[in-house]
Amino acid sequence: MEGFGRVVIGPAVGGLLGAAAFFTTEAVLPKQAEAAPAHTAAKTLKHERKLSDSQTILEANRHLIANGWRPAPQKTPTPEERRLASVPLESLSTCSATGAGFCRFDYRRDLQRLSVVTVPSEPGRPSVGRVIRWW
């Protein structure tokens, strides 16, 4: 029974210590904080300009790359998803072929991950997306 206590307590203590090391997302990304777990939310440096609603994905991508973010798609988009996105960005993960035409672009900086969701600038047609949400 003595070994069992170490197996259960060890990971529990490690998890608590790890959780304490993460920052508060509301202080960093107040608009998007509730959308992602604290350990995956993007930490904004003081000199960085934050992402903004209605910014094109091309503007957002330039800003992110300049601030150390790298494309890190969660999956490989299909040719149809690439057509719908209307941009040749490596960060594209997926696009919805129906409804609002959402597209998701994923980035990584060190251990942080950032997902940016866009809608077409010209609804109903493939067009450069405008940022509507990120986490």
The answer, yes or no, to whether residue 8 has pLDDT greater than 90, is: no
Number of domains in the chain: 1
CA distances from 135 to 26, 99, 114, 126, 131 (A): 11, 22, 6, 24, 12
68 located within any domain: yes
105 located within any domain: yes
CA distance 71 to 10: 35
What is the H or E stretch that residue 104 is in? strand 103-109
Instruction: Please tell me the total number of residues recorded for the chain in this structure.
Output: 135
SS (H, E, C) 34-77: HHCCCCCCCCCCCCCCCCCCCCEHHHHHHHHHHCCCEECCCCCC
86-134: per-residue pLDDT in tens?
999 999 999 997 778 899 999 999 999 999 999 999 888 888 999 999 9
11 located within any domain: no
The residue to which tokens 């969660």 are assigned: 74
Highest mean pLDDT among 2-6, 17-21, 81-85, 103-107: 103-107
Whole domain around residue 79: which residue ranges? 24-134
8 located within any domain: no
